[in-house]
Amino acid sequence: MPTDTEFQAFWDERQAQKLATRPKLGEVLRKRWPVKADRMAYYDWSDTRADKRLNEREMTNISPEELTEMLATMNFNSDIARGKLVGVLERIVVPWLPVGRDRAGTIYRIVPGARGLLPDQQDPKTSRELVSMNVLGVNTNVQPKIPSRSRKANFSEESTRSNESDDYDYAGFVFHQIGNLEYWADDPENLRSYEDAAKGTWLPTQFYAVMRFGRNGAANGVYVIYDFYPEDEYLEERRKIDDDDWGYLPRDLTDQQIALAKIANEITNLKFSRTFDFAEALDYPVELVRAMKTPENTIIRVTVA
């Protein structure tokens, strides 16, 4: 039976070869180890190695500062960069990011994650390549029929025009999901340090934090978008809200409904010591759509209105 050292040497040889010219694994294995039991032992060794490396990656700590730097400087048009980001956001151990406190005195944080919001159409028709639903687009001049709300003049209920013109900043934008927005449910005076924050009670707002990015792939503001597809605890599935009870911020006495708002110009602005506004707020439901690649390797909304 081959040893782990021999299996590692074989693996290293494979990795040194160019992917395009690398022989098929099955063929090489049969030449290296004609005995089936030896080949099966290699597969077991390879699976164990992959699981170990995955666990190491999942448990590797990343600081809030490192995550912030990653979000601030990455190219969101890059498949590789987005893959690395999702790998970080979906780790078992991942730091939350402080946001600050709003004018009502409510304190917020972002608990990282890359899968929260859903588009209204998950499988749109397009000849272009769709990107994963970690990245979506929002059409701010479309007001879906559900949930009901007094309709804005000239707003359609659904976008139907294929986005061939690449009007990336007209009535909407594309974004990458980065995590749940939570609020501090304890006395604000009890939050004086990160240690206090780790011990205290945080509750969900049903808003999701996203990074807007432009045609060049650079970050262009931090926004929050209301999740109109919450999970039904009894049915264990996500259903769209069909009533008018949505978009309210905790402890807000103005009764203002918000579907989308900007909370920072840059991710590096976020910290507990800042006071911020929910700027550019929209008080009507907006349409979320899938995003797709262009021939120029940029990312745009699939449909617009």
Kind of pairing between the strands at 260-264 and 135-139? unpaired
pLDDT of residue 7: 83
Amino acid at 155: F
Output Rg (C-alpha) for the chain, integer angstroms: 23
The Cα 83–Cα 112 span in angstroms is: 15
Q: At what angle do helices 79-89 and 64-73 cross, to 10 degrees?
A: 160
The Cα 203–Cα 11 span in angstroms is: 47
pLDDT of residue 12: 75
The Cα 153–Cα 138 span in angstroms is: 18
- Do residues 183 and 203 make contact, with C-beta atoms less than 8 angstroms apart? yes
| Mean pLDDT calculated for residue range 139-154 | 71
pLDDT tens sequence across 291-304: 999 989 899 998 77
pLDDT of residue 10: 81
pLDDT at residue 150 tops 80: no
pLDDT band, residue 218 (cuts 50/70/90): very high
pLDDT tens sequence across 156-173: 666 555 655 555 566 889
pLDDT tens sequence across 255-286: 788 999 999 999 999 998 899 999 999 988 88
pLDDT of residue 165: 54
